[in-house]
Amino acid sequence: MKLNEHQSKLLLSEAGIPVPPGVLLDRSQLEQVSFPFPFPVVAKAQVLAGGRGKAGGITIVPSHQNFFSRVAPLFDLTIDKESVPLVRVEQAASIVREMYLSCTVYRAGRSILLTAGKHGGVDIESSEPKDILSLEIDPICGLHDYQIRDIFFHYGLEKKHWPEFLRIVSALHRQFKTKGLLLAEINPLVLTGDEQLLALDGKVELDDNMVDIDHDQARFEQPEHRTRQENTAKQFGLSFHTLGGFVGLMVNGAGLAMATMDCLNYSELPAANFLDLGGKADQKAMRAAFDILFTDPGVQVVFINIFAGILSCERVAESMLAALDGTPPAKPMVIRFAGNGDRQGRALVRSMGCADIHLVRDLPEGIATLRTLVTPPADLPDFLRIEIPEHKPARAPKKSANPTPFPLSGTSRVLVQGITGREGGLHARLMQEYGTSITAGVTPFKGGTTCLDVPVYNTVLEACRDHRFEATVIFVPPALAADAIIEAADAGIPWIVCITEGIPQHRMLCVLERLQRSPSRLIGPNTPGLIVPGQTKLGIMPGHIFTPGDVAVFSRSGTLTYESVIRLSEAGIGQSVCAGIGGDPFVGQGFVNLCQRVRHDGRTRAVLVLGEIGGTAEEELAQYIRESGFELPVLGFVAGQTAPAGKRLGHAGAILENGTSGIRDKLTTMHEAGITLCPDLDSIPKLVSDRIS
């Protein structure tokens, strides 16, 4: 969650960082305002976009007589497509020098960076590399005094400024770490005419996962910066963005939602929005989703595409019927159910007997049905399909002379952490029904009981005294999940599968640092799990869609995994192992690690990688393939090709950052490494078959 400047400065000042005194105003307060500080003042438009200064969003007001005439026009501005709901007015400062200072979570380096620029303000954009100093901060040990000295002498400040500088940098890092921030930026940090250091401007980004845990951070919410639809979605835990087309989109899971969005956009049925239900399809959330879609004048028809794993199609249908309350939908709906509870879900929808609700079997039938229900406008958005280079001639998959089987099988003994919880108990039972050897469970204060005919222990350590485990599956709340991962690693369990979504990024950085000293291997978090078809299932994947075979499937998305696997299975192509690496920015085993595990598996003859926009997991795999001479054919599909830059689509990892090289370079890098690119979901079975035949 991005904070505006006023809220950012409030958070900085609470840490003891000096900021100019200021007040926040809306338009109605302009004519009756008084200030606890003298003129001249500076009025600043409060938006979450950049480029405010160049757009005329900052003005100096020399006296009270000029105030209304200078400040009122700020509310009429549009800055990078954002209106101005609020203005901060603060005491003007005399500036001798401007510098740049920030703490940020650095996704590519899996680290925290403290960055200092000799020049601040707008000049930071044109700084020479030698003027920028970036230091990695240990996520466990924290900031060292010598690093603060490095920055102080980089700035070239005088000795008399050291005590205040030490306090400011220490306070910035302390607040950054305590609040679990993603970004804490002071730009500029100024030296004033009276020799004081002052945070003249600030930018802070909160981790949404941390806000859910530390409820005090919710006070920084500024609903004025969001539309009514966005506020409704946020209230009910839905991921929502307006996109501008005419097909209202409701999907579960970011990967499938992005792939569906791409499919609609490339089919001249552009999506009006991105709406990811996630696992929150209760009646209230469904009512909110329908309110968003049905009241949008641009939406002609609604497409609901659900491939259920942890979510049940039956539950979605029940929530949908309750939300409609026996009345026909306000707009035609096309519904596709697959996965967990799909038959029951379809039966419930049919029971409505509504002519405006159309059930379809799959995504292609959904597209065909949508075409019959809409009248496309003449000015369709132009989504040029990214040209996928033709795949290279297939080479016969090489078999290893000394095969090393994948380390998990039907005989692997499995622990379930959180087995007595609702989700843990449900999916432990489904894992048992699949054939997984659930040996024990852990729930604090439930030790000595049984669940699903297996013993329950208070701690992992207690369970490991009585049993030997090859793997553990974690179903615990986000606030406890990082600790649960470390607990399993410290107990020496070889494979850790963390289903939990919503772990703060700071905590995951500490987990990954700790795991570097452990032989345990982590799948996830925010993963559907891992399955060896026909043998064992660790997680929430709907087991009936998988068939034993010789293609390994590794993915950043659960629902995208299901969508691809069912197409492979229906084409007679089985799978050797399938794993979701997780949808978060920081996860355990990546594409490279898992490809190393199947490289000499003996059963695996090809690898299918299902990627997404954002991050560098696909590029890292391409580099590994080039440098290692990886013997198996690798195919890749990337969802989100039509996504707008800077939007977080569903989970935290699915974001195409502004200023990155973009999806085209990602695909080019993969192709140049010899990865066969699949242009769409429909092409996957044929291309996989070509590579293994």
Q: Do 536 and 412 meet the contact criterion of CB atoms below 8 Å apart?
A: yes
Q: Do 309 and 340 meet the contact criterion of CB atoms below 8 Å apart?
A: yes
Strands 471-474 and 495-498 turn out to be parallel
Dihedral Cα 80, 81, 85, 89, nearest 10 deg: 10
DSSP state of 399: P
From the list 311, 312, 639, the residue with the least C-alpha distance to 499 is 311
From the list 650, 649, 654, the residue with the least C-alpha distance to 610 is 654
Prior bond to 329 cis, omega within 30? no
DSSP state of 536: E
Element (H, E) at 374: none
DSSP state of 675: P
Strands 239-242 and 273-276 turn out to be antiparallel
CA pair distance 252, 558, nearest whole angstrom:
10
List the beta strands (DSSP E) in 277-354: 301-308, 333-339
CA pair distance 264, 245, nearest whole angstrom:
9
Other beta carbons within 10 Å of 673: 19
Buried b / exposed e over 593-607, threshold 16 CB at 10 Å, is bbbebbbbbbbbbbb
Give the torsion sign (CA, 484, 486, 489, 490): negative
Burial class (CB in 10 A: 0-12, 13-18, 19+), 654: buried
DSSP state of 396: P
For 196, phi and psi rounded to 5 degrees? -105, 150
Grouping H, G, I as helix, E, B as strand and the rest as coil, residue 126 is helix
Q: Do 621 and 672 meet the contact criterion of CB atoms below 8 Å apart?
A: no
- Please say if 215 is a catalytic residue: no
The secondary structure of 444-470 as a DSSP string is TT-TT-EETTEEEESSHHHHHHH---S
Catalytic residue among 6, 358, 651, 671: 651
Strands 437-442 and 413-417 turn out to be parallel
List helix spans (H) across 443-535: 460-466, 478-490, 505-515
CA pair distance 364, 673, nearest whole angstrom:
31
Q: Do 610 and 561 meet the contact criterion of CB atoms below 8 Å apart?
A: yes
Q: Do 417 and 499 meet the contact criterion of CB atoms below 8 Å apart?
A: no
Q: Retrieve residue 71's tokens.
A: 């400040």
Q: Do 133 and 154 meet the contact criterion of CB atoms below 8 Å apart?
A: yes
Q: What are the residue numbers of the active site?
A: 651
